[in-house]
Structure 1
Amino acid sequence: MESRPIRRSVGQEIPMPSDNTPSSPTVVAVRPDREIVTRQRLPYFVGISGETVGSRGLSMHMVVIPPGGVAAAHSHRGYETGIYVLEGSVETRYGPGLTERVVSSAGEFLFIPPDVPHQAINLSDSMPARAIVARNDPAEQENVIPYDPAENEDGR
């Protein structure tokens, strides 16, 4: 029986039995053991993306916002974002000039529509906030657009 790799950890491949059909779907498990710093200037633990598992319509990662941390303001060109807060409380500023605010705490979901500028702020000065972030964009960081609220008060 032929085998195809399954990724258990980014960069580590473990053989998986194959049904000998080259185009058949493959289940891939990813251990998020590699941290990257994103365009939002926050540590992400790499999970599901086009790069890691060949996803065509989804990315999913874990973000950690350090105590008192503030993400760089940004938007996601043409893509929705879903967030589930695992630990902590995060204020998300959003909209033109980042004048709107919503607070999400552990156990809560947050939805951000495409192209809406936003910025996450950890409300704790002593504990990190952790969240799972999912987007309907397999490239994830390629469509992150920096946003300067002073220059973009009309929302563009």
Structure 2
Amino acid sequence: MDKKSTCRLIRSSRTYHGKQGLDYAEAISKESVDAQGICMHLLTIPPGIRAKAHLHQDHETAIYMLQGKSAMWYGEQLELHMELDTGDFLYIPAGMPHLPYNPSETESCTALIARTDPNEQESVLLLPELEAALQKKGKDY
């Protein structure tokens, strides 16, 4: 029986550094279990840390906040803002620019993330020009 045709248990003990600038706990992906249509991993953002502005071109993202509080700038020019608390679900449509961050100076936040892209990093498109525009506007993150 090959690995495509059976269930696979992953005990996440490895991490990888994503293009977004954060470290992810490796879980379900094309790379780990040869997933065909989904990627799922755990993300802990340390206090005061943020990702790089990015989008996932053709893939949707679903997030569940397991612990703590997170915040995110999003929209075509990162003009919109939201905060997530423990127990919140978040949907990010394909192609939506976003920049998540941890607003706390003392507590980490942890989220379970799933995307319709089975690859851990292929669909990540960095948007440094949006990040620069956000900084010019004096927006906190």
| TM-score normalised per structure 1 | 0.80
Aligned residue for 1:149?
A: 130
Matched with 2:63 is: 83
Task: Identify the residue that residue 107 of structure 1 maps to in structure 2.
Answer: 87
2:98 partner letter: H
Percent of pairs identical after alignment? 36
SS in 2 for 1:149: helix
2:135 paired with 1:133: no
Is the Cα–Cα contact under 8 Å of residues 35 and 45 in structure 1 kept in the other structure?
A: yes
Structure-2 separation of matches of 1:84 and 1:75:
18
Q: What is the match of residue 119 of structure 1? A: 99
> Quick check: 1:96–1:152 contact (8 Å CA) kept in 2?
no
Deviation at 1:25, TM superposition (A): 2.2
Q: CA RMSD in A?
A: 1.9
Aligned length: 133
Gaps of 5+ in 1: 5-21
Q: 1:24 to 1:132 in 2, by over 3 A?
A: closer
Q: Which residue of 2 aligns with 1:9?
A: none
Mapped contact 1:70–1:120 kept (Cα < 8 A): yes
Contact 2:52 2:131 in 1 (8 A): no
Gaps of at least 5 residues in structure 2 are: 135-141
2:67 and 2:85 in contact (8 A); partners too: yes
State the shift of 1:44 in Å: 0.2
Which of 20, 33, 54 pairs up with 1:74? 54
Of 21, 25, 28, the residue aligned with 1:45 is 25
- For 1:84 and 1:76, the matched residues in 2 are separated by 18
Work out the CA distance in 1 between the residues paired with 2:76 and 2:9.
39
Which residue pairs with 1:26 in the alignment? 6
Counterpart of 1:10 in structure 2 is: none
Aligned to 2:137: none
Larger Rg over CA atoms = 1
Alignment of 1:93-104 (within 5 A): 93-104=73-84
Structure number having the greater strand percentage? 1
